[in-house]
Amino acid sequence: MPKRSADVVCALAIGGLDPGGGAGLLADVRGFAAAGAFGCAVATLLTVQSTRGLVSVRPLAARGVRDAAREVLEGQRVGAIKVGALGSRANVAAVAKLLREHPTIPSVVDTPMLPTRGRASLLDASAVAVLKRELLPAATLVTVNALEAETLASMRVATTRDARRAAKALVAGGARAVLVKAGHLRGAAAVDVLAVGDELFEIGAPRLDIEPVHGAGCTLAALVAGRLAVAPKSSLVDAVRWAKGRHHEALAHALDVGGSLRVLTFAGRRTTRSVVVR
């Protein structure tokens, strides 16, 4: 009799397909693998893009997104869900409903609206209100960069102090937990601000002097989701801290695969750079 392999937990990514591989679903699956989870993916939109930037976006039908995700959730051992670019208002509403249907599965919602480089939008303007009202409250964790925090919290976010205010405002607006990422903030340290209910945590690492990177936000959110899937007894703070360390190491070794933006991988890497939680 063949030996039965150990059970493996899945993490499900719901987001956009980047044919260049730097961001979106392909970045998510790499992040899941780095955490030890088996990656599954449902496409919400197709893009024309590469490491030169985003050219165009075509959202897919919400019904197909819903049906594909439900099949994976019903047929496989999904330990966490990561949500990325959704494109349309209908997709936002459909994914919010999916998360409400599976309240025991932790979910990490990243909220990309504009790409690192390029003019096409990853989220229709009419969808922002639905995102705030329906999707953010359904997530275990919402991750935003400074520009997204400004849009969602209606305030300027340029410093760590601003990030604290924005994180608190988004939690007050209905989100259960919010991570405001430090990539666009000022300062010698990259200090992410995590609000969990009434508690605030700062998770920092030395700011790196590196070339522009593609898909960094997708990857961080996927690392958190992957960690929550494989270590379900971990606290959210511990999962974010672990993800920050792995992400920081990947940033320090970002790859040049052509084009003007570098990409993140984890092959042969182990976290050596420290992060600080306070």
Cβ atoms 22, 88 nearer than 8 A: no
The predicted structure's pLDDT at residue 273:
47
Average pLDDT over residues 86-102: 96
Domain that holds residue 216: 10-277
**How many domains are contained in the chain?**
1
CATH number, position 249: 3.40.1190.20
Task: Kindly list the distances between the CA atom of residue 162 and the CA atoms of 48, 60, 180, 189, 260, in Å, as whole numbers in the listed order.
Answer: 34, 35, 10, 15, 30
Reported as a single tens digit per residue, the pLDDT across 147-177 is 899 989 999 999 999 999 999 999 999 999 9
Identify each DSSP E strand in the chain by its residue range. Answer: 10-17, 38-50, 53-59, 78-83, 107-110, 141-144, 177-180, 189-196, 199-206, 276-277
**Quick one: pLDDT at residue 111?**
79
Asked whether residue 244 is domain-assigned, the answer is yes
Residue 109 lies in a domain: yes
Instruction: Answer for the pair 172, 156: CB distance below 8 angstroms, yes or no.
Output: no
Tokens read off for 182: 């430090």
Residue 98 amino acid letter: L
State pLDDT tens for residues 6-64. 789 999 999 999 999 999 999 999 999 999 999 999 999 999 999 999 999 999 999 99
1: in domain: no
Indicate if the pLDDT at residue 276 is higher than 70: no
Instruction: Give the per-residue pLDDT at 5.
Output: 60
Q: Which two tokens stand for residue 222?
A: 């996927």
What torsion, rounded to 10 degrees, do the Cα atoms 198, 203, 204, 209 define? -100
Q: Which amino acid is at 264?
A: L
In a 3-state reduction of DSSP, which class is residue 79?
strand
The yes-or-no verdict on residue 184 having pLDDT over 90 is: no
Which of 10-24, 116-130, 139-153, 195-209 is least confident?
Answer: 116-130
Q: What is the mean pLDDT of residues 184-207?
A: 89
User: Taking the CB of residue 33, how many other CB atoms lie within 10 A of it?
Assistant: 17
- Structural domain includes residue 4: no
- What integer pLDDT is reported at residue 193 of this predicted model? 96
> What is the crossing angle of helices 24-35 and 216-230, to 10°?
40
pLDDT at 277: 52
pLDDT at 271: 46
Averaged pLDDT of the chain: 91
* CA 130/CA 188 separation, integer angstroms: 36
